[in-house]
Structure 1
Amino acid sequence: MLTPSDKALVPFVSVDHMMQLIHHVGLPAMLRGLSTYIADDFARWEQFDKTPRVASHSAEGVIELMPTSDGETYGFKYVNGHPKNTSEGLQTVTAFGLLADVDTGYPVLLTEMTLLTALRTAATSALVAKALAPRGATTMAMIGNGAQSEFQSLAMMAIAGVTHVRLYDIDAGATAKCAHNLADTGLTVTTCTSPEDAIEGAQILTTCTADKAHATILTDNMVGAGVHINAIGGDCPGKTEIAPGILTRGDIFVEYPPQTRIEGDIQQLPDDHPVTEIWQVLAGQAQGRTSDRQITIFDSVGFAIEDFSALRFVRDQVRNTAFFHPLDLLADPDDPRDLFGMLSRAKG
């Protein structure tokens, strides 16, 4: 544990410590806790600095910085998205994040965020599904069974009341992996051989594919009235999953319109197409689902405030625990004006 005199030492949560923390808290409790922090920060949305993430795009993928501040604490996440990585034995998405004290500018937490991003993405999806999905929804189609699929499924069970998951991926091995990992979790799991099979009887349709392409995972004729679509795979320019016809038939909910219009499925629509910011629904300032036949679409690309919430949650959880390393990250000269002197003394 760090004391107030240890300001030059930054708590660092490694991958190993993050895994220990998750098992210590319990995965369902971790997902519920993250959703609570996200909901709390969405309720004070207007207090935050907001900007579309700063992205460096290439033919292979994207590297992004996602910053925000509530005036007291600053946070950012570094994250990449490289669909080709899986074929090379690498993660499609990796990330780390930082919290800092606005008053001093000193970092107060540095942490891995590959696992944490998977958790916060799933927690956000389930939080929104709880608000927008048909009443009593119990079945989700999980189309795309890669690294995010288990987290999505378990969050929907822990937060939104889902009991059945129907899995489909173009790679049957990915579906088998997901089904194996979800065994003995309390979910009823069905493996499917087509997207049409997967959505049979599902009230929640989650799409989470990795290809950086204008794909159509859900065609217009596949989607009937009354479902909630959780579209999380379209998350950069040139990458979509939902047919435009579905988008024009449904009511679309987004995190931050200036970012989603660039990166989300709604990049296929005119810039003036109406959308609702999801924070307004969660704060009671806008309507969500209004009828049993309504199609609701959460066009989620991930936003910095969700990462800020996740970082706050981890900071609060690791206090008074051993789930971090004190990291010697900041120079701490005896005289703050004599940085050179500190360097000179280190020589001998």
Structure 2
Amino acid sequence: MKTNFVDVNDMVNLVNRHGLTTMLADLVDCIENDFKRWEKFDKSARVASHSDVGVIELMPTADDVSYAFKYVNGHPQNTQYDLSTVMSFGVLAEVQTGFPVLMSEFTLATAIRTAAQSVMSARLLARKNARSMALIGNGAQSEFQAIAFHHVLGINEVRLFDIDSEATDKLINNLKAFPELNIIRAASTADAVRGADIVTTVTADKAYATIITPEMIEPGMHLNAVGGDCPGKTELHADVLLKGKVFVEFEPQSRIEGDIQQMPADFPVIELWQVLNGHISGRDNNEQVTIFDSVGFALEDFSTLAYVHKISTQYGIGRTIDLIPEFNNPKDLFGFIRQGQAIQKNVA
């Protein structure tokens, strides 16, 4: 058996062949369908190794057919080294044998899956007539968020703000490919969120930040808080979380990493799968504020890896690699090395 390897160029080819907007729409449905199967999955908070400058994490999950994990980092200062603040790869394996069928780049894929997860949650929680979105933080993930909300949810106006004006310049330039999208450059966070139906925050600093404060909240808003995703990193003032219903992916992980890390252990939250399966209501009325405290959960990566495996196979994109030895005799691992003459007989 061979492992299919999808590298960065392959992923770019895959996005161009299949279409970014098609991938985003497909993934919204894939992630939603897997969340509806919530009880079929092994679930655990990701394994994190924290340092003063960032975090490195492994994110595993499995159902009874497939196992998946993602390796991912978060280093806000990486841009000074010309590196992405988030870098990632993922693996999809068979549960029956443990054989890895796919190894894939996941830096680009993570941006796509995060936008798809944001839209999946907003489709569930935001007002049905939502048409405007404030986008606070205009870095690497911002285009994917804007395009996904525009294409899948019908958002036709985005209001942009970033303390780095060059990031906003970059975003505006990239969104020129969507001339039907009304783009407004805001003077501040408060200016951007004023009157917005949806507020998406995708900031990068590893700090207890208060990007959104209580006085900015208006009736009926849906907050999509994406950037607060590890201990010591938040985007919402704690009092914002008291303004409405708070929804999370996997509560044990969100308690540690999300904006709700600021709140008492008994602060009430609702897991998305409970709403999707009709156990608990989502938005109760058009005046209610809904808050999605997004940290990213392994199930979303599982959905994306399975999807990448499916369409890369469909298009014949990627190449097979010998990640695992193929044996004539699986019990003779030494003999496999010996056949390759990789034995150093004379050691000084």
Q: TM-score, normalised by structure 2?
A: 0.96
Match for residue 125 of structure 1 among 118, 123, 127: 118
* 1:135-154 pair list within 5 angstroms: 135-154=128-147
Q: Is 2:38 aligned against 1:45?
A: yes
Q: Is 2:187 aligned against 1:198?
A: no
SS at 2:228 equivalent: coil
Change (3 A) 1:26 1:345: same
SS at 1:315 equivalent: helix
* 1:148-227 pair list within 5 angstroms: 148-185=141-178, 186-227=180-221
Question: Does the 8 Å contact 1:12/1:327 carry over to 2?
Answer: yes
Rounded Cα–Cα distance in structure 2 between residues aligned with 1:337 and 1:219? 62
SS at 1:319 equivalent: helix
Q: Which amino acid aligns with 1:301?
A: V
Question: Does the 8 Å contact 1:127/1:160 carry over to 2?
Answer: no
- Residue by residue, what CA displacement relative to the aligned partner does 1:174-218 show, whole Å, maximum 9, x if unpaired? 001001101131321111120011112210000111000001001
Runs of 4+ aligned structure 1 residues displaced above 3 Å come to none
Q: Which amino acid aligns with 1:282?
A: L
> Residue 310 of structure 1 aligns with which residue?
304
> Residue 327 of structure 1 aligns with which residue?
321
SS at 1:347 equivalent: coil
> Residue 341 of structure 2 aligns with which residue?
347
Which moves more between the two structures, 144-153 or 158-167?
A: 158-167
Rounded Cα–Cα distance in structure 2 between residues aligned with 1:214 and 1:207? 14
Shift in Å at residue 131 of structure 1? 1.2
Shift in Å at residue 248 of structure 1? 1.0
Q: What is the identity percentage for the equivalent residue pairs of Structure 1 and Structure 2?
A: 52
Shift in Å at residue 88 of structure 1? 2.2
SS at 2:3 equivalent: strand
List gaps (5 residues or longer) in structure 1: 1-6
> Residue 345 of structure 2 aligns with which residue?
none
Q: Is 2:269 aligned against 1:249?
A: no
Shift in Å at residue 285 of structure 1? 2.1
Match for residue 48 of structure 2 among 46, 55, 64: 55
Shift in Å at residue 16 of structure 1? 0.4
> Residue 294 of structure 2 aligns with which residue?
300
Question: Does the 8 Å contact 1:43/1:282 carry over to 2?
Answer: yes
Shift in Å at residue 250 of structure 1? 1.3
Question: Does the 8 Å contact 2:194/2:216 carry over to 1?
Answer: no
Shift in Å at residue 130 of structure 1? 1.1
Question: Does the 8 Å contact 1:165/1:189 carry over to 2?
Answer: yes
Number of residue pairs matched by the alignment: 341
Q: Which amino acid aligns with 1:232?
A: V
Which moves more between the two structures, 249-258 or 328-337?
A: 328-337
Q: Which amino acid aligns with 1:42?
A: F
SS at 2:209 equivalent: strand
Which moves more between the two structures, 181-190 or 137-146?
A: 181-190
Q: Is 2:27 aligned against 1:27?
A: no
Shift in Å at residue 284 of structure 1? 2.2
- Residue by residue, what CA displacement relative to the aligned partner does 1:2-52 show, whole Å, maximum 9, x if unpaired? xxxxx1x20000110001101111111000111111011001000100000
Q: Is 2:79 aligned against 1:86?
A: yes
Question: Does the 8 Å contact 1:75/1:99 carry over to 2?
Answer: yes
Question: Does the 8 Å contact 2:146/2:158 carry over to 1?
Answer: yes
